[in-house]
Amino acid sequence: MRIGFIGLGIMGRPMALNLLRAGHEVVVNRRSGAADELADAGATLADGPRDIAAQVDLVITMLPNGPQVLDVTLGPDGVAEGAHDGLLYVDMSAIAPAAARNVHDGLAEVGVRMLDAPVSGGEPKAINGTLSIMVGGDEAVFRQVADVLGQMGSSVVLVGPIGAGNVAKLANQVIVAANIAALSEALVLAELAGVDPAAVVAAIRGGLAGSAVLEAKGPMILGRDFKPGFRIELHAKDLANAHETGEDLNAPLPLTDSVLAMMEELRNTGHGADDHSGLVQYYEALAHTQIGRAAS
């Protein structure tokens, strides 16, 4: 399939590379920071979203938030302006469900069929093609692109109609955020008690407290390695979208709001670009300590 890929950041770049490795023709924006690397790997360069859309069967976007998705799809020189018969569009960004529905409705006016398909797994799973992909939209469109999505993810699930993919993504982000906060809180408690947090992780990982979050983020917290696989500022954006969606639905989200406040505090103090495992720094600041003191 001939695929246009827009958004070659931490996640999008390896996802596009995996599509190239799977044998697809991939077209990218020549003004993207990773365009030269993709071109060296075999991608074709084009001049913006309209030009990309005009020459492909499927456009995929992986962008920071709803405003960027709206601009790339329905704005000047956007995907809608390059629409042609049979064009499909999959947005893999994490945006508010209402924003996904707005983009869907706008593209439907020019005959473009859309899915929202946000992902979970961070940079490591984007690199090895084992992302979890949560899809919203028409089942017939899903069947047309399921194989393509499967070349970027090991789990591809149609959740419901358009917007449902992002509802699932918000649920995922709420659970992950609360888990990282709980892990941070527990390890700072161990630190203050004079017990090696690494030994605590080793002791609890095989029990009910064991989780994918513990396995992925525990070593980063213990090693103070906050190089971003998924940045605090982006997770805060997702929690803000969850808060907004919760307000629309009268859904109580007290844990979400608490962790969002922590992440906003870290963003305001210069840690927004850290990996979300860096949430531990919020607890460390409150406790006037740092993980690793007990073991030193």
Helices (H) then strands (E): counts for the chain: 13, 9
Q: CA dist 8 to 59, 80, 121, 197, Å?
A: 13, 20, 17, 37
Residue 24 three-state SS: coil
Q: Does the annotation count 217 as an active-site position?
A: no
Residue 211 three-state SS: coil
Q: Which of 240, 100, 235, 227 is nearest to 162 (CA)?
A: 100
Residues 169, 217, 227, 237: which is the catalytic one?
169
**Strands, E assignment, 103-230:** 113-116, 119-120, 131-136, 153-160
Q: Which of 279, 262, 129, 264 is nearest to 218 (CA)?
A: 279
Q: What's the burial of 184, exposed, middle or buried (CB within 10 Å: 0-12/13-18/19+)?
A: buried
Q: What's the burial of 59, exposed, middle or buried (CB within 10 Å: 0-12/13-18/19+)?
A: buried
Residue 33 three-state SS: coil
Tokens of 126: 């984007």
Enzyme catalytic residues:
169
